[in-house]
Structure 1
Amino acid sequence: MNRLPQIDAVRGFALLGICMVNAPIISGAWHLASDPATASVEHAAAWLVTALVTTKFYLIFSFLFGYSFTLQQVAADRGGVSFPRRQGRRLLGLFLIGAGHAILLYPGDILTTYAVLGLALLALRGLKARSALLAAIVLIAFLATVMLVAGVLSLGTDNAAHFSADAVAARDSAAYQGGPLSIIHANITNYRQQLGGVILYSIHLLASLLTGMAAGRLGWLDPSQGTRARATVVHRRICVAGLLIGLPGGVLTAMCTYGPFDDRFYYLGQAVDVITAPLLAAAYGITLLMLLRGRFGHRIARMLAPAGRMSLSLYLLQSCVLAFVFTGYGFGLYGRVGPAALALGCIALWAAQLALSARLMARARYGPVELMLRRITLGPAALRAARAAGPLTE
């Protein structure tokens, strides 16, 4: 299967957003952002990350997951192998990797969710592109309605959420500064407590997966010369919608999360986010695609695409580094670094990953975790044939 460098570049760019969203959870900085005594610069940093980053980059990854699904299906059909069987092995491998990630490093792992939703995508692979897009719209509307109802009901409750947040902060601080067993126990506890929310927000991710699958079949990210002009017009309209609708939606979500609105407005903000975040995420991705077609596109692709080719390895590496810095696995700085410094640290970590991936991908075809997942996906028979043809890491 031939790789599309523009997809790898978008995936490499999205790693920065993923890091900035995951880092506050692993480091305990979200507790500091919610504390009224937190300095204004820290509060502003958390506010901006919520407005501009949170939700958007997971949607980009979900979209690309759905898009790649169609490419993998074409490759399986071309090779004369059973796509459901091959994809099933891939999803099982992804689930096992994600489960290990959630237990050892980060309870907010997304890989297990992708693996389960991948089964749904496999079952829905017969949908036509337009039907998949319609299903995505229905899912988004349903989730937004649920959040809106929850938000309206919350307006009639007392604003006492900070008390439970303080208790969670104290519990997590003690657990994550402890030894490995304490950290693992805390990860399992937090994962189980978040499971309901994961299931609910999976609706949003499935909508993005279906959109990506439809986009793959329609060739949205790889338009032919005959449709390039039309695609450019559509891309510009989406960018305008992202600016005029998605950006204000992100701002309103941040206002309902970190003020000036109190905790009773949280779910109303989430309802707005469900509707507007896809527009801002699309604007981010399309803006990068337009830059890739511009004067300096080759340089941008050369910088970002290697990271996209090994994004799974880098996603896990981010958690390893953050867990070592902030938990008892290493320095134990949990709850001691604010959102502002953490955001700068995420940018530095992402830049280091870009440099690392450029070196590794100049010598190998796959990242280390990608290679392991490939071996699981191909299965014994295909692996023997691949070894006969040459090394997997050529």
Structure 2
Amino acid sequence: MRTQETLPVTPSTRLAAARIASVDALRGFSLLGILVVNIAFLASGYRMAGLAEPAFDSSLDWVVRWLVTLFMENKFYLLFSFLFGYSFTLQVDSAKRQGRPFVPMFLRRLAGLFLLGLAHAVLLFPGDILTTYAAVGLALLILRRIGPRTAVVLAVLLTLLLALGFVLLALLAMAGLDTTGTVTDGAAEAARSDTALGGVFWQIVGEHVRKLSLIIVTRVFFQGPAVLAACLIGMAVGKLGALRDLSAHTGTLRRLQWTGFTVGLAGAFFYTLSAWHGTVHKFWGEAVDLVTAPLLAAAYAATFLRVLPYMPRIARALAAPGRMALSNYLAQSLICSLIFTGYGMALIDRVSPPLEVAIGAGIFVAQVLYSHRWLKRHRYGPVEWLLRFLTYWRRPGQPSR
């Protein structure tokens, strides 16, 4: 930040800078994981229908599907949600220091986030999560005065209630309830989606809107509460100031690693079995994953933050895309849409899972390079600049009146 150039360098300012850099780097790391997961759904109507792409059935294809599901699916959006809750506390503190009314500013920010997410969902990717963050942000605003312990308790209760909901669905399915979504229906749905996504602009938009209407219940009753739970944990960590001095919490980080890489990974394996081989009912897998995915995500974060000081180059590389994560998140969907839909090359369901991962890695490397170049000349990413304008209702960098 340009204003920091005139400030005296003290141990406290160095610590603050390191803390911000570590959070930005963690956000960049989360962005990579989200891209590797999302690209499969952007590249195939079958994946959006919950099926494997029938054209790709080699051993390598299945290994990649298993690895992505096991280690990445439902983990990195939780990390991103955790950081959303953590950043919320930073925004509250910043408003207090500057003597600004926080509520109207944050409501404008959420409105801007919702509009961006709605445009993203309709034009590029119906799996958008920005609209969910906008809704969850209202809940954080209401709950902003609760203590860290209460926030954690609420997060745990939300998670357990969601898991219980999937257990009930599993029991109903075992009792003979028609859960719909058979393989035949799913395959027909995927073929229909492929045709639309490979078409012209209005066909693509129409398909996105149709998918949104199909997943709205899942988004409201399942993903939304899961995101809120992760945000509440982030808010609790922010209120405790636990990321200000990680060396003081080494024991906690170690416990998170042990728990996440044992219980969390076991739950992820159970979930992967249910997702791909049907050896466990899918609802049981979802119930287990809701409880254990946050543990594995926490283990990732704890490991990342512990090793980051020993990898300064990687930290610097990831911090730049993390600083403009919103711009990069939207750009990922735009680039993938140009590759896989009728907006561009229309390669929908023509790219194998290994190549999808390779393309995702290539996109992220390009974003790392572009983010570093952009931030040398600009203080904010382009979409971040727009969101700050909507939040403060003036050009970023312009003094308040």
1:157-186: per-residue Cα shift (whole Å, max 9, x none)? 479720111111111011000000000000
Determine the structure 2 residue equivalent to 1:182: 203
Determine the structure 1 residue equivalent to 2:170: 151
1:21-74: per-residue Cα shift (whole Å, max 9, x none)? 211111106266254972232122112211111110000000000000000000
Determine the structure 1 residue equivalent to 2:337: 323
> Is contact 1:43–1:258 with CA below 8 Å preserved after alignment?
no
Determine the structure 1 residue equivalent to 2:184: 163
- What residue identity is the alignment partner of 2:230? S
Determine the structure 1 residue equivalent to 2:381: 367
Alignment of 1:249-264 (within 5 A): 249-259=267-277, 261=279
2:398 paired residue among 381, 387, 392: 387
Alignment of 1:215 onto 2:229: no
* Separation of aligned partners in 2, 1:218 and 1:166: 49
1:234 paired residue among 239, 252, 256: 252
* Separation of aligned partners in 1, 2:205 and 2:31: 25
- What residue identity is the alignment partner of 2:380? Y
* Separation of aligned partners in 1, 2:56 and 2:384: 43
* Separation of aligned partners in 2, 1:362 and 1:245: 43
1:10 paired residue among 26, 36, 54: 26
* Separation of aligned partners in 2, 1:187 and 1:160: 19
- What residue identity is the alignment partner of 1:188? V
* Separation of aligned partners in 1, 2:82 and 2:264: 17
1:108-138: per-residue Cα shift (whole Å, max 9, x none)? 1000000011011101101111000000000
**TM-score, length-scaled by structure 1:** 0.92
Determine the structure 2 residue equivalent to 1:80: 99
* Separation of aligned partners in 2, 1:34 and 1:154: 26
Determine the structure 1 residue equivalent to 2:265: 247
Alignment of 1:142 onto 2:152: no
| Greater Cα offset, 171-180 or 28-37 | 28-37
- What residue identity is the alignment partner of 1:59? L
Determine the structure 2 residue equivalent to 1:45: 64
Alignment of 1:224-373 (within 5 A): 228-229=247-248, 231-259=249-277, 261=279, 265-294=281-310, 296=311, 298-373=312-387
* Separation of aligned partners in 1, 2:99 and 2:190: 53
> Is contact 1:103–1:184 with CA below 8 Å preserved after alignment?
yes
- What residue identity is the alignment partner of 1:206? L
Deviation of 1:260 after TM superposition, in Å, equals: 5.1
Deviation of 1:362 after TM superposition, in Å, equals: 2.0
- What residue identity is the alignment partner of 1:198? R
* Separation of aligned partners in 2, 1:319 and 1:261: 33
Determine the structure 2 residue equivalent to 1:173: 194
Deviation of 1:338 after TM superposition, in Å, equals: 2.0
Alignment of 1:197 onto 2:218: yes
> Is contact 1:33–1:338 with CA below 8 Å preserved after alignment?
no
> Is contact 2:43–2:347 with CA below 8 Å preserved after alignment?
yes
* Separation of aligned partners in 2, 1:18 and 1:84: 30
> Is contact 1:257–1:269 with CA below 8 Å preserved after alignment?
yes
Determine the structure 1 residue equivalent to 2:112: 93
Show structure 2 runs of 5+ residues with no match.
2-15
2:138 paired residue among 107, 110, 119: 119
Aligned to 1:217, the other structure's residue is in SS state helix
* Separation of aligned partners in 2, 1:57 and 1:11: 10
Aligned to 1:293, the other structure's residue is in SS state helix
Determine the structure 2 residue equivalent to 1:392: none
Aligned length: 378
* Separation of aligned partners in 1, 2:308 and 2:75: 20
Determine the structure 1 residue equivalent to 2:149: 130
* Separation of aligned partners in 1, 2:56 and 2:379: 49
* Separation of aligned partners in 2, 1:253 and 1:44: 15
> Is contact 2:56–2:352 with CA below 8 Å preserved after alignment?
no
- What residue identity is the alignment partner of 1:176? L
1:256-284: per-residue Cα shift (whole Å, max 9, x none)? 0001516xx11110001000000110111
Deviation of 1:347 after TM superposition, in Å, equals: 1.3
Deviation of 1:378 after TM superposition, in Å, equals: 0.6
91 and 357 in structure 1: CA distance in 2 versus 1, 3 angstrom threshold: same
Show structure 1 runs of 5+ residues with no match.
390-394
* Separation of aligned partners in 1, 2:307 and 2:241: 19
- Cα-Cα RMSD: 1.9
> Is contact 1:21–1:49 with CA below 8 Å preserved after alignment?
yes
358 and 268 in structure 1: CA distance in 2 versus 1, 3 angstrom threshold: same
* Separation of aligned partners in 1, 2:399 and 2:96: 21
> Is contact 2:113–2:134 with CA below 8 Å preserved after alignment?
yes
372 and 37 in structure 1: CA distance in 2 versus 1, 3 angstrom threshold: closer
- What residue identity is the alignment partner of 2:398? R
